[in-house]
Amino acid sequence: MSEPLSYTATELLAVLSARELKNGQVIFAGVGTPLLAATLAQRLGCPEITILFEGGVIGAYIEDGRLPPSANDQRCAKLANAVLGSSEVMLLMQRGYVDIGFLGGAQIDAYGNLNSSFIGDWHEPKTRLPGSGGANDISSLTDFIVSIRHEKRRFVEKVDFITSPGHVAGGTSRRTGGLLRGGCRRVVTDLGVFGFDETTRRMKLLALSPGATLEQVRDNTGFDLLVADQLATTALVTAQELAVLRKLDPQRIFTA
């Protein structure tokens, strides 16, 4: 028997996120894990994926070993279909042309709301964070996927501040609050893949990552978690998936 493959948590997040994408989708991706995931899907089975960047690039194709450090780097634009302004890309989301956005944050709650603004009381926060950037636009206008390390301090019952709205307070609260489409579709962590209950919109564990246990997930989640009736285990990371990722990032700047 061959020995199991060794990979980092970031590589696992990229692989599991890539598997959530479908051919022909338009993906709003940031640098790091979202770009690794979108490019991995583009290389393996989804050649007609269109990658958008907040900086204005449409139809990016990232060269091996030349991952951009920011969404405004010129490496984003090489071989792209078009380069517009940031406002034009945001308008594409408003018009419904973007299928999936990728987001992260310091906190996520039971309804998929994200906080990337501050920790603690907003009058006197313990920690100030980078803020929204384009994250609120993405979360308000598209279905989005969250890729995040699974830690109890990140998975909280209620975020300290909603930077990026998910399903808000559950049920129909997102729609009644004026957000007529989109919402948190999937949460991908190093421990598993999560969706949301169709009625309550509360987070539900759909599949465990290889080697992870339900007890481990619950111990690292700060709220009562729903669990699918038929809890699955994600397929093992393949040598081909790892080879593509490591060719994209040979110096392991993003995947270490």
Which residues carry out catalysis?
A: 54
Amino acid occupying residue 238: T
Write the Ramachandran bin of 143: left for phi over 0, alpha for psi from -120 to 50, otherwise beta. Answer: beta
Residue 174 and residue 145: Cα distance in Å, rounded?
A: 17
State both tokens at 11.
């590589």
Residue 229 and residue 189: Cα distance in Å, rounded?
A: 20
Residue 13 and residue 58: Cα distance in Å, rounded?
A: 24
Measuring CA to CA, which residue among 250, 252, 212 is closest to residue 231? 212
Contact (Cβ atoms closer than 8 angstroms) between residue 39 and residue 51? yes
Tokens 């517009």 -> residue: 84
Measuring CA to CA, which residue among 41, 252, 99, 225 is closest to residue 150? 225
Measuring CA to CA, which residue among 101, 28, 105, 32 is closest to residue 69? 32
The 8-class DSSP code of residue 34 comes to: H
